[in-house]
């Protein structure tokens, strides 16, 4: 049987690929047989076996009367925490055993010597974000790395002191921008330009972002957006925004928490100044695992202000202990403290799975999975045209906040409902659906291509139908004018 065709999303909508396969096999989209056919054609289906996929009996809140205890749950929450690779425990045990048997000698022995275990993983991480090894470093947490980078790149002057960001930036990013402004003696309200979507819209238009950069660029010190917006799932045009910002003299950086491992990235070629990301979402390295930092090679020898620590000192002279800093060129120079040796094994386990495929292959499957899910949702729950919520108060409908253009989204669909999401979320949990909610009215559904299937999507639609009916019967509709 042939495999899924690698489509070029620059000119062909993935829905057309799905429609062609359905037509050729005389199957309807909502038939289980179609979902299973797509899984049979999936060249990446074996990757699911690389992960521990939770069973209904293992997760919390399920109703035993509604689920088969031995069946896989429906895990659509990789945008928040990726599943555990099966090799993780094995690699963790190796390091624990090394500690138990060798003590301090573990710093310089084994496949992951603790003194440079992060460096062992840099080349694989560089492939995922599209850069050279010297441009990437594995360290700290995402917000710590963003602060470290902004100390270098946010150097406000009397005329250029503003930060351009999203109005609904992830809270941690927003707090970082606020605190950086205060550190320089500014009122954050005077510093932060927080872009909002147009009235009645959910996502930012590229032309509006570029227009603000064009009009206010001389006042902007740093442009810093998320690669994929956490609430809406919008994938920003990283190269276009980067080019526009730099043309006006701004430094441009990116929080890639929801983009890394989700969509192909080419940070070096895009000339991005700096970026940072976590590794526990699409990179499956475990809750709170080490984060990543990118510094373009054009800045490798810069003399910008920075915080320094011993681990940013070149290893060849680090142990002279003479307090004469010989900073690593590039991203490693931003390291402060020694890398936690017990956090690298889980990241190693995940990166090995990524090495069994490519971001391009994952992207193509993701496009098809997400298009399949979106089509099924719109077929059943699209808001009737020309009718206000008041005129159609008995209907259940779903608004998709995520862009309909596949080129402007990753694996995530953000769904908004005209029923209470708190109750709906509980009903989904009862049926073994693992997803997450973001107030005021979004539930994020993410079929991660590395371990989710078309049959998972089909099963989800059945659970969603039952959950919506149950939620609607228990609580009244919500105010759908609030996003």
Q: Tell me how crowded residue 72 is: count the other CB atoms within 10 A of its CB.
A: 18
Is 338 annotated as contributing to ligand binding?
yes
* Alpha helix segments (H runs only) across 292-431: 315-318, 344-354, 359-381, 421-430
Q: Put the strands of the sheet holding 291-295 in their side by side order.
A: 136-139, 291-295, 274-277, 251-255, 220-226, 162-166, 192-195
SS3 assignment, position 200 = coil
Is 143 annotated as contributing to ligand binding?
yes
Helices (runs of H) and strands (runs of E) counted in the chain: 14, 15
Is 172 annotated as contributing to ligand binding?
yes
Is 226 annotated as contributing to ligand binding?
yes
Return the closest-CA partner of residue 316 out of 307, 308, 328. Answer: 328
Is 97 annotated as contributing to ligand binding?
no
Pairwise CA distance, residues 183 & 305, whole Å: 14
Q: What is the dihedral of CA 205, 211, 213, 218, to 10 degrees?
A: -170
* Alpha helix segments (H runs only) across 12-86: 14-24, 32-41
CB 224 within 8 A of CB 163: yes
Is 279 annotated as contributing to ligand binding?
no
Is 311 annotated as contributing to ligand binding?
no
| List of E strands, 196-265 | 220-226, 251-255
Looking at the DSSP bridge assignments, the partners of residue 255 are 226, 276
Pairwise CA distance, residues 304 & 308, whole Å: 12
SS3 assignment, position 196 = coil
The upper half-sphere exposure of residue 335, i.e. CA atoms within 13 Å in the direction of its Cβ, equals 32
How far does CA 479 lie from the centroid of its chain? 29
Is 72 annotated as contributing to ligand binding?
no
Q: Is the dihedral of CA 322, 324, 329, 333 positive or negative?
A: positive
- CA-based max dimension of the chain: 77
Pairwise CA distance, residues 468 & 79, whole Å: 23
Q: Tell me which H or E stretch contains 84.
A: strand 84-85
Pairwise CA distance, residues 256 & 265, whole Å: 10
Is 159 annotated as contributing to ligand binding?
no
Pairwise CA distance, residues 462 & 189, whole Å: 46
Binding-site annotation: residue ranges for pyridoxal 5'-phosphate: 142-143, 170-173, 226, 255, 258, 280, 310, 338
Binding-site annotation: residue ranges: 142-143, 170-173, 226, 255, 258, 280, 310, 338
């Amino acid at each position: 049987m042939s495999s899924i065709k690698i489509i070029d999303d620059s000119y062909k909508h993935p829905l057309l690929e799905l429609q062609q396969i359905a037509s050729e096999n005389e199957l309807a989209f909502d038939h289980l047989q179609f979902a299973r056919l797509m899984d049979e054609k999936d060249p990446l289906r074996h990757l699911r076996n690389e992960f521990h996929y939770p069973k209904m009996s293992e997760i919390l809140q399920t109703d035993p009367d509604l689920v088969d205890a031995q069946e896989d749950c429906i895990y659509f929450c990789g945008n928040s925490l990726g599943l555990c690779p099966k090799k993780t425990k094995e690699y963790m045990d190796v390091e624990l055993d090394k500690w138990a048997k060798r003590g301090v000698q573990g710093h310089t022995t084994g496949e992951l010597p603790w003194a440079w275990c992060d460096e062992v993983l840099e080349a694989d991480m560089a492939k995922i974000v599209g850069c050279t090894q010297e441009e990437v470093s594995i360290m700290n947490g995402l917000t710590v790395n963003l602060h470290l980078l902004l100390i270098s790149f946010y150097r406000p002057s009397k005329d250029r002191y503003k930060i351009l960001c999203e109005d609904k930036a992830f809270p941690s990013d927003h707090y970082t921008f606020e605190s950086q402004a205060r550190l320089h003696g500014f009122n954050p309200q005077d510093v932060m330009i927080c872009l909002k979507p147009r009235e009645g819209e959910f996502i930012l238009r590229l032309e509006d972002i570029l227009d603000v950069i064009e009009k206010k660029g001389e006042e902007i010190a740093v442009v810093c957006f998320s690669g994929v917006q956490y609430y809406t799932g919008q994938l920003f045009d990283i190269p276009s925004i980067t080019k526009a910002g730099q043309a006006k003299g701004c430094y441009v950086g990116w929080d890639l928490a929801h983009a890394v491992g989700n969509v192909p990235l080419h940070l070096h070629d895009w000339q991005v100044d700096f970026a940072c990301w976590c590794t526990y979402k699409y990179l499956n390295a475990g809750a709170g695992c080490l984060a990543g930092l990118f510094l373009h090679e054009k800045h490798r020898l810069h003399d910008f202000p920075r915080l320094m620590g011993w681990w940013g000192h070149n290893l060849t002279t680090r142990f002279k202990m003479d307090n004469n800093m010989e900073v690593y060129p590039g991203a490693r120079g931003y390291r402060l403290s020694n890398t936690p040796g017990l956090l690298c094994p889980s990241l190693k386990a995940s990166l090995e799975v990524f090495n069994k495929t490519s971001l391009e292959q994952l992207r193509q499957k993701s496009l098809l999975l997400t298009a399949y899910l979106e089509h099924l949702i719109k077929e059943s729950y699209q808001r009737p045209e020309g009718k206000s919520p008041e005129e159609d108060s008995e209907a259940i409908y779903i608004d998709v906040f995520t862009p309909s253009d596949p080129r402007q989204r990753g694996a995530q669909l953000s769904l908004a409902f005209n029923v209470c999401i708190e109750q709906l979320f509980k009903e989904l949990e009862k049926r073994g659906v693992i997803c997450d909610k973001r107030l005021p009215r979004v539930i994020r559904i993410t079929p991660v291509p590395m371990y989710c299937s078309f049959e998972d999507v089909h099963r989800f639609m059945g659970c969603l139908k039952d959950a919506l009916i149950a939620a609607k019967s228990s609580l009244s509709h919500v105010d759908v004018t609030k996003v």
